[in-house]
Structure 1
């Protein structure tokens, strides 16, 4: 059984807010720089292009964060996985990897959609620029089952995610950089799902399934898992 370190609700909220600000500050800062250039050179095409591109990036990141980290309505709210796919595609358009998404579409408990998006963030961070991340939604009802695969070389699954998955993290080690993978695995625990990581030299597979169905592939170079037990 793998346990996540305990964080207080205020600490979790504060660290997630820090993560969100970190993600948004770059495009917002670029918008500010572009507007300052336009003050000196009105109608400059390069400055205008910078403002437009950065605005689109900021909007995409905020739309993604609204579902991935936000409350998404009430505690019992459901999310259309088609909407989750749309915000994922918008966010990935400004990221380093290409996104492929296939599978079932349905309204699901919000933590399922949030788990898919948060594991997508981890998968995207694992691959070099120009490579691929593939989301395959195998089943949503009556229980969720899906895989997210990072393809590319060299693969670098974030160390904090691996540490958390192996149950080696402490509360003191969770900072603004580590809070996002922590939150992903917290969502899995709340949804009573198992997350496993299977990694080879050029592929990392993040597999999510009901706890009882989580199995260790015989041909994977390495497999670690977290279950949904408290």
Structure 2
């Protein structure tokens, strides 16, 4: 990934921020629309519709922000550990607004923060593989300080997004932008953790693994 070697920390942070903002714009915009309906409509039915929209969108925005804070944010000082129970809570909250169900099969432990961030970013990637909905299973093998992650995305017509498999395997992406930055960020996290990533598809299942690099 020669292009990534030239990617400055400022450029990376700007692209990640752009990605997070993109995810938040929709529910925040829906809240704004709901407030406008409350201001303009006198109908009780429309006011109730607007309040339902505001409540739902506020929960969605909150879930996305909490997930992004843990998946992309600092989440404590260098060397900090994160409770996997907290990671499960934010991942479950995030997936409640998605088409797929989350099957979290990871026991509660304290884990180095970058490993937790890696796991959450792998969930984002798995979710992209079942755009029509399905189930995402999350498993961990080994000790919390040196784990292997196994994620499976199963659903109707699952797919591996264009270029995703190559990016995760370490090939240089065709372009580095806000659209592609999340898998790139995931690869950088894996490198920081001394792990390698792989991705494969068999029939109705996409499998993603992260394990210690050879």
Instruction: Place the TM-score, normalised by the shorter chain, in its bin.
Output: over 0.9
Once the two structures are superposed, the pairs formed by residues 166-177 of structure 1 within 5 Å of their partners are: 166-170=169-173, 173-177=175-179
C-alpha contact 1:160 1:181 (8 A) present in aligned 2: no
Name the residue aligned to 2:25: 25
Does residue 1:147 correspond to 2:147, yes or no?
A: no
Residues 75-113 of structure 1 show CA distances to partners (whole Å, capped at 9, x for unaligned) of 221111110010000000001211110122211111000
Number of equivalenced pairs:
210
Backbone CA RMSD of aligned residues: 1.7
CA distance in 2, matches of 1:160, 1:90: 28
C-alpha contact 1:148 1:207 (8 A) present in aligned 2: yes
TM-score normalised by structure 2 residue count: 0.92
TM-fit CA distance, 1:196: 1.4
Partner SS for 1:28: helix
Name the residue aligned to 1:126: 129
Select the residue among 179, 195, 201 that pairs with 1:199: 201
Partner SS for 1:198: strand
C-alpha contact 2:164 2:183 (8 A) present in aligned 1: yes
Gaps in structure 1 of 5+ consecutive residues: 213-230
TM-score normalised by structure 1 residue count: 0.86
TM-fit CA distance, 1:35: 0.4
C-alpha contact 1:4 1:167 (8 A) present in aligned 2: no
Which has the larger share of helix?
2
TM-fit CA distance, 1:140: 3.5
